[in-house]
Amino acid sequence: MRSRLSAPFLALLLLAACDGGSETPVSRARPGDTLVRSGRERVVLERPFRPGQPNGLYKGIVTVSGGERGVRRLEVNGVCSMPGLQAEGWPAYDNLYGRKLSATGGQAGQERWQVLFHFNGRVEAQQAAGEQAWLSELRDNLCRRGRFDDRKLKPR
């Protein structure tokens, strides 16, 4: 015997599983929220970042899906610099780095990557060349730049 509620319930469940394409600033993101959409790829927060010094977000875990490279899990760290403060010792780049994780939650070897986003537009990537499009967007989100500048948002 089939319930009349099963079809509407299934439709509601499917809608709830889909975030409708929105991106969430990292300062408001919760596990399951989309941090970045870049082309066909989607970066979803799995484990929140831990704030740290100086100006960093550490040990966040994201899942990247939708591209030609399949689904992959990464631990990500971001250290955001401040343009114009190089005389005070701040670097002239933002630094995103991390390691690839296995699909089941553990570490997949020691495959590490790093990308330096210099303020003059130069990008240095180590072991992350195929990831640069979404990493650039994630850098903007983590460092609260561009469309992710959320300083004017009211706190939750």
Q: What are the per-10-residue average pLDDT scores of the chain (156 residues)? A: 42 40 90 96 96 88 90 93 84 92 68 91 82 88 86 63
In a domain, 75, yes or no: yes
Domain that holds residue 56: 23-148
Q: What is the pLDDT of residue 153?
A: 63
Q: What is the pLDDT of residue 106?
A: 60
In a domain, 109, yes or no: yes
Q: What is the pLDDT of residue 13?
A: 33
In a domain, 78, yes or no: yes
In a domain, 92, yes or no: yes
Element (H, E) at 108: strand 107-118
* Domain tally, the chain: 1
Q: What is the pLDDT of residue 16?
A: 38
In a domain, 81, yes or no: yes
In a domain, 83, yes or no: yes
Distance CA 2, CA 45 (A): 37
| DSSP one-letter code for 51 | E
In a domain, 9, yes or no: no
Q: What is the pLDDT of residue 122?
A: 93
At a CB cut-off of 8 Å and minimum separation 6, what does 97 contact?
76, 77, 112, 113, 114, 115
In a domain, 155, yes or no: no
